[in-house]
Every structure is written in C-alpha cells, then in structure tokens.
Copies of this chain bind each other. A is one copy, B any other.
Amino acid sequence: MSNKHNAREAILDTASRLFFTQGYHATGLNQIIKDSDSPKGSLYYYFPHGKEELVLTCINRTSEMVSQNLRHYVEGEDSPAQAVQNFILSMAREAEESSFEGLVPFSFWVAVETSCVSNELRTACQCVFKDWQDVIAQRLMKDGMQEEAAVGKATVVVSLFEGALLLALTCRNVQPLVAAAESIPAILA
C-alpha cells in the first residue's frame, strides 16, 4: 500500500484535486492520467463508466472526508459557535498556506457544475450538503435547540461557509472567511 504505485488511489487523489480546483469540464482525463503518472488503460479499468463515474467516486469519497473533519470540530468540547468558528478559521489558515489551491475538498462550487451533467451527480451533491448540515443540526439539537430552528441555522452556516469560500477563492483573500467566522455567534444565538 506504500511503495507500489497503486494507480487507483493515485488517479482518485489527482482527479479530486483537479476537479475541485479547476472544475469538472475544465479538467481533462489526459491531465489526470499525466499528473497522476497512471496509464489511461488503468483509468478505464478501475472506472469503466469513464469520467462521470470517476467524478462521482471523487464526490462520495470527499463527502466522507468532509463529514469526518467537520465532526471532529463540532462534536468536541467547545460550544457550537466556537466549534464552527474554529472549523472555518482552520480553513482560512489552510487556504493561506496553500496559496488558495488546497481548499479541496471543501469548496463545493463544483456541485452546481456537475448538477447540470446528470441527475445522479446532482443527487450525490445534495447528499454531501445534507450530511454536512446534519452534523451541525444534530449538535445544535443536543444543546436544546428545536429541530426546525436547528435545521434552518445549520443550512445558513453551510451556505455562509460555501459562499465565503467562493469569495475567498475568487479574491485570493481570506477576509471573507474571517468575516464569516466572526458572524457565526450572532447567527447561532
């Protein structure tokens, strides 16, 4: 699992990175196989349905990473507001360190792009957002918030986070993320 090339994993890693930074249509299969040093034969061996199956796998794989990471913050000792703030600020830190090229896999603007490709992809992207919201909503409810309010606030948090990422990536500046983090307490109050 270490020194062997392991084409499948290499392809998935590279494809995820490229899809989530450049976009679905902007990323060609040729670039993926070249960047991952994997042969094209392997790509269609592991993903017989081609590009769409590949991006679907990337999305699902990413979805789990996202849930896990978010849970790490939200299910800790801190208050919900503190936890979400820390999560967003850790993204801002990561963004700066990687010169706005490593926000993968949290900038999910590619969801809208792939939603136009097929219904299967749209459903998968919906689930990602849903999982994300659930983690936050569950925590809010555990703190005594009514379900309806918790779901609403969780949606707002996810929307704000995604939007702030959108602006941060476009402007190459963490300010939107910092401002978003600062406004979290007011939102969750």
Contact = CB atoms under 8 A, between A and B. Distances in A.
A182 B125 CA distance: 24
B162 A158 contact: no
Contact of A166 (B26, B108, B175, B182): B108
A172 B112 CA distance: 10
Contact of A129 (B25, B165, B170, B179): B170
A158 B160 CA distance: 9
Contacts of A180: 155-156, 159
A124 to B, nearest CB: 10
A100 B100 CA distance: 30
A76 interface: no
Q: How large is the interface on A (under 10, 10 to 19, 20 to 34, 35 or more residues)?
A: 35 or more
Given A112-B170, A159-B163, A153 B183 contact: yes
Interface string A25-67: 1100000000000000000000000000000000000000000
**What's the number of copies of this chain in the assembled complex?**
2
A149 B183 CA distance: 11
Interface string A168-189: 0111100110011011001101
A25 B171 CA distance: 20
A116 interface: yes
Nearest to A23: B113
Nearest to A189: B186
A98 to B, nearest CB: 15
A169 B112 contact: yes
Nearest to A185: B186
Contact of A23 (B116, B155, B179): B116
Interface of A: 21-26, 107-109, 111-113, 115-117, 122, 125-126, 129, 152-153, 155-156, 158-167, 169-172, 175-176, 179-180, 182-183, 186-187, 189
